[in-house]
Homo-oligomer: A and B are copies of this chain.
Amino acid sequence: MLTLAYLIAITAEAMTGALAAGRRNMDLFGVSLIAFLTALGGGTVRDILLGNFPVNWTQHPEYIYLTVGAGLSTMLVVKLVHKLQQLFLVLDAIGLVAFTLIGCNVGQQLGYSPVVVVMAGIITGIFGGILRDLLCNRRPEVLHRELYASVSLLVALLYLQLQQWQLDGDIVLLASFSVGLLLRMSALRWHWRLPTF
């Protein structure tokens, strides 16, 4: 299930990257690169920080094709994408939650302590979007809009907590996933935000 969610996730993130790059007048190559970075950048930063070489996508060339393809296709159907904005936000939320859970998993398999595992989850969840915004020269969206990064944090904490209760692995995964998705969708629906200063 997580693999399917992962494929949806990188496709959706590649599309957000392509849209942002398109709005900044990047050319075909810029769109492809930013789609790729948005989709796979979070996992890359995580792998490098945790010393987890080789970096995941270098062993899965199909992810490169998928994300670049998704980015370029987005440009072809850019009007349709704007119409489907609701669907798009759901896909992006699936992406955020799936990335976070995968990141936690990787951190655990490498034997890091819980707080680093949580960081690994968050980094996987949000750094793709941060890199996208850096390259598009704008303030990182994930840090000042409706709950986004915080959803990632809560999903990671919930996931670790549920594991402690020795439930079945699939149930833990499904529960964390559902709560995270619900939380993000609610935040979007009712414009929940964290306080700013």
Contact = CB atoms under 8 A, between A and B. Distances in A.
A149 interface: yes
Contacts of A157: none
A144 B50 contact: no
Contacts of A61: 113-116
A99 to B, nearest CB: 16
Nearest to A111: B54
Contact of A55 (B49, B115, B137, B193): B49
A188 B94 CA distance: 43
A135 interface: yes
Residue among A53, A54, A65, A197 with max Cβ neighbours from chain B (10 Å): A197
Contacts of A139: 24, 136-137
A140 B115 CA distance: 30
A27 B135 contact: no
Contacts of A130: 135
12 contacts: A24-B139, A25-B196, A26-B144, A27-B195, A27-B196, A28-B196, A29-B150, A30-B140, A30-B144, A54-B112, A64-B116, A137-B139
